[in-house]
Amino acid sequence: MTVGLVVVSHSRALARAAVGLAQEMLHGKQIKIAVAAGLDDTTFGTDAAQIVDAIMAAEQGEGVVVLMDLGSAVLSAELAVELLDDDIRKRVVLCPAPLVEGLVVAAVAAAGGAGAEEVAAEAAGALAGKIGHLGAVAATPGPDVTGEGLTGSFVVANPHGLHARPAARLVQEVRRRDAHALIRNRTADSDWVDAGSLSKIATLGVRSGDEVEVRISGSQAAEALEHVLALARRNFDEALTDAALTTPASAQHVGTPSAHGGPIGASPGLGIGPARSARRGPVSIPDVPAEEPAVEWRRLGKAIATVRRAIGQLRSRTARDVGEAEASIFDAHQLLLDDDALLDDVRARIDAGGSAVAAWSAAVRDLGAEFEAVPDPYLQARAEDVAAVGDQVLRAMLGSSASAAESSGVLIAPDLTPAEAAELDPARVCGVLLAFGSPHAHNVILLRAKGIPVVIGAGPEALAISDGTTIAVNGTRGEYVVDPREDVRADFEARVASVAQRQRLARDRAPEPAVTRDGIAVGVGANVGSVDDARAAAALGAEFAGLVRTEFLFLGRHDAPDVEEQVAVYRKIAESLEGRRITLRTLDVGGDKPLEFLPAPAEMNPFLGVRGIRLSLVHRELLRDQLVAIVQVARHTPVSVMFPMVSTLEEILTARELLADAIARTGRTQPADLQVGMMVEVPAAALKAATFARHVDFLSIGTNDLTQYALAADRNNDAVAALGDTFDPGVLALIAATCHGAAGRATVSVCGEFAADERAVQLLVGMGVGALSVTPPAVPVTKEAVRAVDSCEARRLVDELRSATGAEDVRKRLG
């Protein structure tokens, strides 16, 4: 048995490389080296729970030496040691040696049979050879040496100043290096505070336009200052056009209501029931005597590690499902768990005889009060972040839980995370009323897919509605009524019953074709993202899969699926749809939807960056494999291949060349049932439809992206939610232009959320759209909407709406 080693690093790749180098020096000898590095293969960070697991894996009875890179790696390692049982903790040594040189020396010493203390001592002296050969090097003076350390300053351009996300980026930059940084608001002439503490930075109240001064000391002070100033010049990696104005649903903050100042119908339907707040009730702090301080601190440490892991998982899911910009709010939540000021306060209370629960609760309450005392309203709202994180840790210590998933009736919240939306049961939740939010946000799309009526932008007054109060929600018209009169309630309940009856009739007729009153058949298919979706679509009468989001196969994994895996999954989807045509959209990721196995540089505006077909043409090996798999499936079942985010003719011609190569690899001729098409999501593509139609079999309009690009309104930004309205005459004109340009050359379908709006169906049919693809639950009702249309009347209506002044005018004319 030998001493085990643990490598703690922010970077998993760096840790593995260091271990590989150390093992080269052992010449075949075996020692146990465990790695606790990164939050995943591409995300920098450290996790105390992961370090605990690594220590347990490395421990063989002779002790463990832990080597760390910098910053929060040290804090995480210290917390991990606190979480260990006493008998293991006393055999663990945290070593201050430089990571790479120290690991090499430690590995050699451990392989030679040295004990844990001796291994740590040898590693700590790892730089002696370099110093003996090169001599000690004095630090090169940096810019503006003033007092203790190096100083620099910058002016904050971010619209909300140093709010949670830019402050989190600053703290992360400081903690990455062997340096101690202080920061102050020079404009407000504030005191100096620790730049490694998120909570202390918040107390400075730094607003847009304020000048901030930093002072950094330590062995890496010059490097740290250079990186901090560079980060400030990049506006803390926050896009100032709209990202800075966007606070993700997960933050649940009190922000600006929708731009038009009133509620918006975001998911059609009617619901009436008792109001239920999605906010968790206050945690009751038990009045019990505290145990020994070490026991109480360990209890808190375990809870923090549990919450850190949960937040990390939520961050990964949010980055995958919504986008990196939205997920970055969780960086601030993670940093609060490591905040020195907060933890020092808690430790002092525990050492004074308090319990972990009481100490944590009091410290979080005081920290929240500091945020609330900041003059800037936006920064004041960050008190809710503190409360949310504090609540999670308290519940972890007490073993209690509560979630929106347990709610029934009409759920009221500032906003919901996509995860919370995904958990809601339509059988229990009859409606959702959100104070803020966007109709095109992923959480709303999930609720729409579940058939839950949603009204967004109701404003903060909605949050004051008492639990149990009867509330009626009209997700189609964007209206809600609190405690309606008896006659209003009876009328609404009758309408809800009527809608339910109509939906039952629609489901009964779902297997039948959708034909307009004057005999025009309109195909109605389903958008699917899994085999289960495909089964549901077939059961609900879908005539085809108008959109298969193949990225579900690629997201959240460390390597790309090979051709065989893709073929197997695509065939299962085809089998689930019982031989109906499936439209396989090639990989639509990048920008706001990154791949773990394909790291890419951060983009200032990912929606206008390398995504969709652009990314696939950069990484052609991925597209080639996917096209080979699609062609193989097409030789056995009807398949359409669809390329996303096309904006130029060159892109579609290059994609067709790659498809031809895939066909050649799998056989000599193109499969008879293979059709080729493209998404129309960019206004330029809609206006060039006639050009594209010469080279494809069909054009499929993605109304979600087309709307946000046409109106320059980010669909995840609740501040411009009302602008991103597909009923806007400008967006309708782009849809009509697509149909006109494609006429006689290619068919046109719509696979965006607009196709599921019953009011929109007559417009789309009147423009010449020949097929609609919607979420599986919306298939029956969409077919009924088609059956109610007279195509001649629909064309006249489209002509009349050319003079409409705006989205509301369009709705009024529709009735």
Q: Can you give 235-282 as a three-state secondary structure string?
A: HHHCCCCCHHHCCCHHHCCCCCCCCCCCCEEEECCEEEEEEEECCCCC
Q: Any catalytic annotation for residue 751?
A: yes
**In contact, 72 and 343? CB cutoff 8 Å:** no
Is 423 buried (19+), middle (13-18) or exposed (0-12) by CB count in 10 A? middle
pLDDT in tens, 223-244: 888 888 988 887 886 654 333 3
CB 412 within 8 A of CB 463: yes
Confidence of residue 248 (pLDDT cuts 50, 70, 90): very low
Beta strands in 291-354 (DSSP E): none
Rounded distance, CA 315 to CA 326, Å?
9
Task: Indicate the SS3 state at residue 775.
Answer: coil
CA atoms within a 13 Å half-sphere pointing along the CA-CB vector of 85:
5
Q: Which residue, 654, 661, 707, is CA-closest to 678?
A: 654
CATH of 4-134, picked from 3.40.50.300, 3.40.50.2300, 3.40.50.510, 1.10.3720.10, is 3.40.50.510
Cα dihedral across residues 754, 755, 758, 764: positive or negative: positive
Lowest mean pLDDT among 449-453, 515-519, 660-664: 449-453
**302 close to 401: Cβ distance less than 8 angstroms:** no
Q: Which of the four pLDDT bands, split at 50, 70 and 90, describes residue 810?
A: very high
| Cα 380 to Cα 76: distance, rounded to the nearest angstrom | 29
Closest CA to 221 of 241, 195, 244, 247: 195
Q: Which two tokens stand for residue 405?
A: 């998933």
Tell me: domain 293-398, CATH 1.10.274.10, correct? Answer: yes
Report how far residue 190's alpha carbon sits from residue 181's, in angstroms, rounded to the nearest whole number.
15
Mean pLDDT comparison of 35-49, 425-439, 762-776, highest-scoring range: 762-776
pLDDT greater than 90 at residue 309:
no
Q: Which residue carries 């059988």 as its tokens?
A: 427
Q: Report helix angle 293-321 to 72-83, nearest 10.
A: 130
Q: Which of 95, 430, 739, 751 is catalytic?
A: 751
- The DSSP 8-state label assigned to residue 598 in this structure reads B
b/e sequence 491-512, b meaning 16+ C-beta within 10 Å:
ebeeebeebeeebeebbeebee
Q: Which residues is 216 bridged to in the sheet?
A: 150, 181
Is it the case that residue 279 has pLDDT exceeding 70? Answer: no
Q: How would you write 385-407 as a 3-class SS string?
A: HHHHHHHHHHHHHHCCCCCHHHC
Q: What is the pLDDT of residue 627?
A: 97
Share of the chain above pLDDT 90, in %: 39
The span from the CA of 263 to the CA of 257, in Å, is 8
**CA-to-CA distance for 739 and 708, rounded, in angstroms?**
20
In this prediction, residue 541 has a pLDDT band, given cuts at 50, 70 and 90, of very high
Q: Is 434 helix (H, G, I), strand (E, B) or coil?
A: strand
Token reading at 605: 């505006």
Catalytic residue among 10, 160, 333, 442: 442
Q: What is the DSSP string of 646-699?
A: --SHHHHHHHHHHHHHHHHHH-SS--TTEEEEEEE-SHHHHHTHHHHHTT-SEE
Integer Cα distance of 721 and 736 in angstroms:
23
What are the residue ranges spanned by the domains of the chain?
A: 4-134, 150-238, 255-279+403-502, 293-398, 520-814
3-state secondary structure of 215: strand
Residues with Cβ within 8 Å of 668's Cβ and at least 6 positions away in sequence, in order, are none
For residue 311, name the pLDDT band (cuts at 50, 70, 90): confident
Report, in angstroms and rounded to the nearest whole number, the Rg of the chain calculated over CA atoms.
29
Residue-wise pLDDT tens digits, 430-464:
999 998 877 766 678 768 877 899 999 888 788 88
- Reported as a single tens digit per residue, the pLDDT across 388-406 is 788 888 888 988 755 555 6
Phi/psi at 180 (5° precision): -115, 125
What are residue 108's phi and psi, to 5 degrees? -65, -45
Question: Tokens in use for 506?
Answer: 């629609």
E strands present in 529-586: 545-549, 582-585
Three-state DSSP class for 184? Answer: strand
Q: What is the mean pLDDT of residues 555-559?
A: 77
pLDDT at residue 169 tops 90: no
Interatomic CA distance for residues 425 and 468, integer angstroms: 19
Reference 601, options 616, 615, 622; nearest CA is 615
Which fold would CATH assign to domain 255-279+403-502?
Answer: Glucose Oxidase; domain 1 (3.50.30)
C-alpha–C-alpha distance, residues 235 and 232, integer Å: 5
Q: Is the pLDDT of residue 301 over 90?
A: no
Which secondary structure element, helix H or strand E, spans residue 549, and what is its range? strand 545-549
Note the pTM of the prediction, 2 decimals.
0.54
Instruction: Kindly state which CATH superfamily the domain 520-814 is placed in.
Output: Phosphoenolpyruvate-binding domains (3.20.20.60)
Q: Residue for token digits 């895939």?
A: 662
Q: Is a pLDDT exceeding 60 seen at residue 595?
A: yes
State the residue for tokens 């039948």: 512
| Number of neighbouring beta carbons within 10 Å of residue 50 | 23
Contacts within 8 Å (CB) and 24+ apart, 503-508: 503/780, 503/781, 505/784, 506/780, 506/781, 506/783, 506/784, 507/540, 507/780
**Lowest-confidence segment of 373-387, 461-475, 692-706, 791-805 by average pLDDT:** 373-387
Q: Which CATH class is domain 150-238?
A: alpha beta
CA 83 to chain centroid: 30
